[in-house]
Amino acid sequence: MARILITGAHGFIGRHLAKSLALAGNVVIGLGHGNWPPLHAQRWGLVYWLNGEIDIPNLRSIQKQFGTVDIVYHLAGGSSVGAAIANPREDFHRTVSSTVELLEWLRQEASKSILVAVSSAAVYGAGHIGQIAETARPNPFSPYGHHKHIMESLCISYSESYQLKVVIGRLFSVYGEGLRKQLLWDVCSQLEVHPDQILLGGSGNELRDWTAVTDVVRALSFIHTEANLPPKVINIGTGRGTNVRTIVEGVGQAWAADTNLSPEIEFSGKARAGDPQSLIAQSDQLAALGFEWQKDLMEGLADYVRWFRSESGARS
């Protein structure tokens, strides 16, 4: 049993990670933004949730109550390319400033704790064909990607300078129940109003490495054992690319299973700001740890549609 702190535990991935780690018998504490009644937080596996900034006073408060944690999963930060483009200063604060505070606390008061820094494939940027290895030169071209890259650089710097044990996990296109933004949410929201038509930006040919959140949190629990000096970067991706049109068609088919309506899908052809053509992981390092992806993509899309409809019924 380990004592684990998750920054950003109130978010989509953070909630699933907290529940997974708690079910494995760990004591899980959360810190970040969001009003979360204690009973609700407990349902997601947290023994304690602190709604506040990722800063040294709050980290000290948690340490005083629960002792020094064994592992920190750092998920706090910006989570949207679009939001970062609209407000880069806020995204910088959420991603970069919070990381500095966390690293300073680790350096001064919890130097034996393991840090799993959760980053994004957005650091790779555009211009890639096929699978992207962790050794590929980062080339972000959105504020979101740049800020994640700065976050990674800070973690590597502190590890090298102060011997902190760090591993960096780069996430690709994570989806699953509870995701209330991005492509799947947008498609289902359109189908709820107009079940015969879907209108989207881009070309539909954009390739992404789609990863189910249930698998992603298992992968994150695998990679903490790789935290060491020098820090290792590990892609959290399947190594398989699926274009956006195929994903939208899969959602449409799952939706039409109950309505017998086959939606017409239309793309504007206009690329969205900060949106690379292809982001697919080379997943050799993760596979070498013995990790296997379990969730079938089309099954996962159908599960998402069922979840969305259950949420829609609860809202109405």
The CATH number covering residue 296 comes to 3.90.25.10
Q: How confident is the model at residue 313 (pLDDT cuts 50, 70, 90)?
A: low
Mean local confidence (pLDDT), 276-291: 95
> Model confidence over 165-214: pLDDT tens digits?
999 999 999 999 999 999 999 999 999 999 889 999 999 999 999 999 99
161 and 19, same structural domain? yes
Q: How confident is the model at residue 316 (pLDDT cuts 50, 70, 90)?
A: very low
Mean local confidence (pLDDT), 126-138: 93
Per-residue model confidence (pLDDT) at position 127: 87
Could you give the CA distance from residue 135 to residue 157 in angstroms, rounded to a whole number?
17
> Which residue, 219, 236, 253, sits at the end of a domain?
236
Q: How confident is the model at residue 255 (pLDDT cuts 50, 70, 90)?
A: very high
The answer on pLDDT for 47 being more than 80 is: yes
283 and 222, same structural domain? no
Per-residue HEC secondary structure of the chain comes to CCEEEEECCCCHHHHHHHHHHHHCCCEEEEEECCCCCHHHHHHCCEEEEEECCCCHHHHHHHHHHHCCCCEEEECCCCCCHHHHHHCHHHHHHHHHHHHHHHHHHHHHHCCCCEEEEEEEHHHHCCCCCCEECCCCCCCCCCHHHHHHHHHHHHHHHHHHHHCCEEEEEEECEEECCCCCCHHHHHHHHHHHHCCCEEEECCCCCCEECEEEHHHHHHHHHHHHHHCECCCEEEEECCCCCEEHHHHHHHHHHHHHHHHCCCCEEEECCCCCCCCCCEEEECCHHHHHCCCCCCCCHHHHHHHHHHHHHHHHHHHC
* Mean pLDDT of the chain, nearest integer: 94
Mean local confidence (pLDDT), 11-37: 97
Could you give the CA distance from residue 110 to residue 107 in angstroms, rounded to a whole number?
6
The answer on pLDDT for 218 being more than 70 is: yes
Per-residue model confidence (pLDDT) at position 312: 73
Amino acid 45 reads: G
What pTM did the predictor assign?
0.94
The answer on pLDDT for 261 being more than 80 is: no
The answer on pLDDT for 315 being more than 60 is: no
Mean local confidence (pLDDT), 37-57: 97
277 and 261, same structural domain? yes
Per-residue model confidence (pLDDT) at position 191: 94
97 and 71, same structural domain? yes
125 and 248, same structural domain? no
Domain range enclosing 199: 176-209+240-314
222 and 78, same structural domain? yes
Per-residue model confidence (pLDDT) at position 146: 95
92 and 31, same structural domain? yes
Per-residue model confidence (pLDDT) at position 269: 87
Percent of the chain with pLDDT over 90: 86
Split into its structural domains, the chain has a count of 2
160 and 46, same structural domain? yes
Q: What CATH code is carried by the domain that includes residue 35?
A: 3.40.50.720
